[in-house]
A and B are shown apart, each in its own frame.
Chain A
Amino acid sequence: MRHIISILVNNQPRVLARVASLFGRRNFNIESISVGESEEPGLSRIVIVTHGDARTMEQVSKHLHKLIDVIKVQDLSIQQSVARELLLVKVGATASNRAEIQGIIEPFRASVVDVGINSLMIQATGDREKLDALIELLRPYGIKELARTGITALPRSMQIQPKAQMHA
């Protein structure tokens, strides 16, 4: 199963390396990783998307807790949460099909953020499936460059029908 793990850490040099190296050393998988400042000065939030069964997730959580710089670990996939990533994609575009591309990206609430002679850069945010779908729709125009941030996420304030409690 796919899990989104949110890890609150001290904002210290090498903390990201400690977390990432723990995953590597213990043979846990990382699908994506994103990190940035949190609501509290001095603390950062690392969001890791990983795969594993319940036993593996329990081990992931326990081993993360062993790191001195880790303050809190949450599995956001077992509670209601909002998970988003940012996509920047540069597609081939000619004067004749720009309007057409505009029409494709509009339902995705994506926007054009840069215009070249033969290309457009499009910015989109959303969950992974939405961005995958957008990329597939744009593929026929020719994808010149593409960058995704990896997932960042927070739990929803209202936990209607809460899911399971994560083992700490």
Chain B
Amino acid sequence: MTTDQKQASTDRELTGSEILLRCLIEEKVEFIFGYPGGAVLPIYDSLYYGSIKHILYRHEQGAIHAADGYARATGKPGVVIATSGPGATNLVTGIATAQMDSIPLVCITGNVPQNLIGTDAFQEADITGITMPITKHSYLVQDVRDLPRVVKEAFHIATTGRPGPVLIDIPKDVSNAKAPFSYPETVSIRGYQPTTNPHPLQIEKLQQAIAESKRPLILAGGGVVTSGADQQLIAFAERAQIPVTTTLMGIGGFPGTHPLWLGMPGMHGTVAANRALLECDLLIGIGARFDDRVTMGRIDKFATGAKIVHIDIDPAEIGKNVDTYIPIVGDVKRVLETALKDPPVSQSQAWLEKLKGLKQQYPLTYKQSDNMLKPQWVIQHLYETTGGDAIVTTDVGQHQMWVAQYFRFSRPRSLISSGGLGTMGFGFPAAIGAQLAYPDRTVISVTGDGGFQMTAQELAVVALANIPVKVAIINNQCLGMVRQWQEVFYQRRYSEVDLSGSPDFVKLAEAYGVKGLRARTVDEARQAWREALDHPGPVVIDFQVDPEENVYPMVAPGAGLDEMMLGDEKA
């Protein structure tokens, strides 16, 4: 906006919906992911001539996961708009997904006019109340004059400190009311002052602990990716000679091809990573929250001989799940930069040799088959043909773990996966958001036949806008991870996991005007994937894989990391 236009806009009164759009332009929003409805009619009317690109999804859940995928791929906040009542409640899963993984979202919902709030009016829901436990903060705008400040604060809160989703609920009368517009330059929120710079004394303690340690280990989480600290982490690990394990959310925060990398830890972690967690004498958690998929909830068996250092921007994470020897509150990037000024070297040579040996002795493996396509092979093939730079999104389940295990991501923000909430239906719409942000990069949505059917309707979006997402369905005709648990823990009583009745995915894709391909063998898979990569538009590939395949290694819930099941191959 030019200065003249700014001046003009302050001179006359604008409606709330026009003010909202001006605010979003001020925040440099590129895309709005959304779905219109009665309570947001004024907002959509303002959008009609607007410069911001709106993408119409087929379900609000698709819209918010797409906004989330855009945010994860770019680090910029995703913006989603939904109408009151059912529109707003359809956002709930997406909001919780973003909250669990600390993703910056600004969720704008319309609401019924204020004189109808509380009357159980048509399409009314108390969305502020419903989402209170799953947002970083929320606003119900009661006066159009508050709108610019609220939007400014919402973007600030969503993107700073530990990021997260912020909800702005705007009653229809506020959207229609008029006020002069001026966008605040600065934000001042008394109760919100995130600590970004670490305490120097704590850094000194960390350096001393590293110098004294013989078996140090870095547990790197999503915070490394969020703060953009990947280069600092590589430099720190290399100089201090400390091996690194990355949680699911931390994957890409440290290159999957680096000699110091041990793989993912925890329930489906590598032997090397889990043994390192069991035997380390210094555990440096960096932007990782010690989730029960890493600790197995068995703190009594987790890094028992180690001094635990916990680096996190959120003080409430420190001491939440594990007791901490050295707590360091601050932005991960700042902490590592400070620590890099005077980096000590650990005495870890023998330890590194040992872990290298474990990596060689217990690599991730699976049984090849002559007549069946193995899901692990498919993931490996996707990796080998695209390199570690492709953006891969997943849902939750077996395919997600195989991606985490077999795709060696070399840079951050390239694995986009619902880690904390484990949301089925997340990956495909998230891939659309990522592809919109990076039209020239290869974006692969690896999904299961179950999860894909939760948001498959968004095929309309990729078809219409020719968004070249490659959807790789790892089709085992069942809910694979649930089936695996039933096999192992419920004596093969396969209760309600058979997905017979799924559509012909090739025909489904074609029905939307999207290219559909199928592969049942290795040769077919190679050919189909080549064809998919060569095709300039969206493609759905139905990889029909061995339905019996399980994810190993595996640690049973309630067991310690010392009780790993290695699977048929290695037992």
Chain A residues in contact with chain B, CB under 8 A?
A: 9-10, 13-14, 17-18, 21-22, 25, 55, 58-59, 62-63, 65-71, 168
Contact = CB atoms under 8 A, between A and B. Distances in A.
B132 A66 contact: no
A71 B128 CA distance: 21
A59 B322 CA distance: 12
Given A13-B140, A68-B191, A70-B191, A59 B316 contact: yes
A6 to B, nearest CB: 15
- Counting chain B CB atoms within 10 Å of each CB, the highest count among A9, A68, A168 belongs to A68
Contacts of B157: 68
A59 B317 CA distance: 9
B320 A14 contact: no
A10 B128 contact: no
Given A21-B132, A68-B157, A10 B316 contact: no
Given A59-B320, A67-B191, A68-B137, A14 B128 contact: yes
A10 B191 contact: yes
B458 interface: no
Nearest to A72: B191
B48 interface: no
Contacts of A10: 190-191
A14 B319 CA distance: 28
A68 B160 CA distance: 12
B316 A68 contact: no
B192 interface: yes
In the A-B complex, list the 5 residue pairs whose CB atoms are closest, starting with the nearest: A62-B316, A68-B137, A25-B133, A71-B191, A68-B192
Contacts of A18: 132
B395 interface: no
For chain B, give the interface size range.
10 to 19
A35 B72 CA distance: 40
A132 B189 CA distance: 42
17 contacts: A9-B191, A10-B191, A13-B140, A14-B132, A17-B129, A21-B133, A25-B133, A55-B319, A59-B319, A62-B315, A62-B316, A63-B316, A66-B316, A68-B192, A70-B191, A71-B191, A168-B315
A58 B189 contact: no
B314 interface: yes
A168 B319 CA distance: 12
A88 to B, nearest CB: 30
Given A10-B190, A62-B318, A65-B315, 7 more contacts: A10-B191, A14-B128, A14-B140, A22-B133, A59-B319, A65-B316, A68-B191
A69 B319 contact: no
Interface string B129-156: 1001100110010000000000000000
Interface in B159-191: 189-191
Given A65-B315, A70-B191, A17 B137 contact: no
Contacts of B140: 13-14
B318 to A, nearest CB: 8
A69 B189 CA distance: 9
A9 to B, nearest CB: 8
B334 to A, nearest CB: 20
Interface of B: 128-129, 132-133, 136-137, 140, 157, 189-192, 314-316, 318-320
A132 B536 CA distance: 77
Contacts of A58: 319
A25 to B, nearest CB: 5
Nearest to B317: A62
A106 B86 CA distance: 60
B273 to A, nearest CB: 28
B316 A71 contact: no
A63 B136 CA distance: 11
Contacts of A70: 191
A167 B132 CA distance: 26
Given A14-B128, A21-B133, A69 B316 contact: no
A142 to B, nearest CB: 40
A69 B129 CA distance: 15
A17 B320 contact: no
Nearest to B161: A66
B115 to A, nearest CB: 16
B162 to A, nearest CB: 8
Contacts of B136: 68
Contacts of A17: 129, 132
A67 B316 CA distance: 11
Contacts of B132: 14, 17-18, 21
A65 B16 CA distance: 32
Contacts of A21: 132-133
A55 B132 CA distance: 25
Contacts of A68: 136-137, 157, 189, 191-192
A91 B192 CA distance: 48
Contacts of B315: 62, 65, 168
A32 to B, nearest CB: 22
Contacts of B128: 14
A100 to B, nearest CB: 50
A35 B527 CA distance: 68
Contacts of A25: 133
Nearest to B166: A68
B189 to A, nearest CB: 6
Contacts of B137: 68
Nearest to A67: B191
A58 B320 CA distance: 9
Most buried by A among B140, B316, B318: B316
Contact of A69 (B133, B191, B314, B318): B191
A66 B189 contact: no
A58 B157 CA distance: 23
A68 to B, nearest CB: 4
A62 to B, nearest CB: 4
B136 to A, nearest CB: 8
Contacts of B129: 14, 17
A17 B131 CA distance: 12
